[in-house]
Amino acid sequence: MVEVAHSGTSRRWELYRLLSEPVRLRLLALASAEQLAIGELAELLDESQPNVSRHAKALREAGLLAMRRHGRWTLMRLTDGVATDPVVGDALDAGRALCDAEGSLARVTEVVAARDAAAREFFSRPYDADGVPGLPQELPAYLSALAPLISPHRLAVDAGTGDGSFVDVLAPIFDRVVGIDRSDPQLERARRRVIARGYDHVELVAGELDDPAIVERIHALGGADAVFASRVLHHAPKPASVLRALGALARPGGAVVVIDYEAHVDERLREQQADLWLGFDAAELTDLAERAGLSSARVTTIPSARCGDGPDGHLDWQVLVARNDVPNEHP
């Protein structure tokens, strides 16, 4: 038998006295059907909130009701296990009979559904903006929800991190992120982003990708599970050398992920973004990966509709994924 507060310290008749009040019987029955706020209980019982609060307090002090505060709400539910007490069980049966007779038990579902009214009204408002909505500012939060599904996620390297925009993708997923860039102004922008987001597991490093000190640093961390280079390769004088440097940062079996443009003819990007190469054919990317000593290379297309509204948003992008199958050696 589950003990209630009064049965362990006073005579059982005090429990009978507590449960002799019909309002308390009905309140107990309603709270056994659903976790309800004081205001909702008051509506169902057709009683004032102060009166319901007073009765709920007595039941809570007796150990029959459990309370949970949720902002301005005070929610009540039947305490786990108390229904096994024969006196409480009889009280619940009596309370349910009273509630059935007045129809309040049947209205519990209706009252709970009313909680959704404000949300329904909010999301039913007409959307008066033109075009396709942009990506949500809360995207890092959504990515955090995906993290448990991705393994391994111990360490990622963001090669050519720039202003850190790709860090917003990696940091919610990986336990540790190292961003590398050779531009101090860009790293300063990335640093502000990291601080603003509270990414205390992100390290930003200045230097070239093949800098021995940087390679040594990543090796000391066990090598990266994944090395990412987002829109870096088309700036590289020697793309194969960049891919080789990326592979050197990955642990054995680690992934090298390159995001870049499909081959195009838009010469404006040479002036607008200092591009050296006008994208790459898929076969060219695969060949570059193989020449860099990477294996299992595969390339998939990202349609331009997913690539934003920047100066390169009209291009189709692509993703190269390859593996480092060569054991890393410290420089």
**Full DSSP string of 67-82:** EEEETTEEEEEEPTTG
Residues 248 and 108 in one domain: no
Q: Domain check: are 165 and 294 in the same one?
A: yes
Q: What stretches of 131-280 show up as alpha helix (H) in DSSP? A: 139-146, 167-170, 184-197, 212-220, 239-249, 268-273
Residue 129 belongs to a domain: no
Q: Return the pLDDT at 105.
A: 93
23 lies in a domain? Answer: yes
CA distances to 55, 108, 123, 219 from 114, in Å: 24, 10, 15, 57
Question: What are the tokens at 136?
Answer: 């949500």
Q: How far apart are CA 293 and CA 240, in angstroms?
A: 10
pLDDT-based confidence at residue 1 (cuts at 50, 70, 90):
very low
Tally of domains within the chain: 2
- Condensed to tens digits (0 to 9), the pLDDT of residues 77-128 reads 999 999 999 999 999 999 999 999 999 999 999 998 888 787 778 777 776 6
Q: Are residues 83 and 48 in the same domain?
A: yes
Looking at 123, 147, 182, the residue that finishes a domain is: 123
| Structural domain for 230, as ranges | 139-324
Does residue 239 lie within any of the structural domains?
yes
The CATH number of residue 228's host domain is: 3.40.50.150
Inform me whether the pLDDT recorded for 163 exceeds 60. Answer: yes
Of 56, 89, 123, the one marking the end of a domain is 123
Q: What is the pLDDT of residue 115?
A: 85
Query: Do residues 151 and 194 share a domain?
Result: yes
Q: Tell me, yes or no, whether 224 and 101 share the same domain.
A: no
Q: What is the largest CA-CA distance in the chain?
A: 91
Confidence of residue 139 (pLDDT cuts 50, 70, 90): confident
Quote the tokens at residue 302: 């990202």
Q: In the structure, what pLDDT confidence band is assigned to residue 330 with cuts at 50, 70 and 90?
A: very low
Q: What separation in angstroms does the CA of 220 have from each of 211, 216, 223, 249, 251?
A: 14, 6, 7, 11, 11
Measure Cα distances from 128 to 124, 306, 308 in Å: 12, 22, 21
Is residue 209 included in any domain, yes or no? yes
| d(C-alpha 283, C-alpha 168), whole Å | 30
pTM value?
0.70
Q: What's the pLDDT tens digit per position in 226-283?
A: 999 999 999 998 999 999 999 999 999 999 999 999 999 999 998 888 899 999 999 9
Asked if 101 contacts 22 with a C-beta cutoff of 8 angstroms, the reply is: no
- For residues 112 and 145, membership in a common domain is answered with no
What is the spatial distance between Cα 233 and Cα 185, in angstroms, rounded to a whole number? 20
The identity of residue 83, as a single letter, is: A
Strands 65-70 and 73-78, sheet pairing: antiparallel
CATH number at residue 16: 1.10.10.10
Q: Which amino acid is at 174?
A: F
**In a domain? residue 330:** no
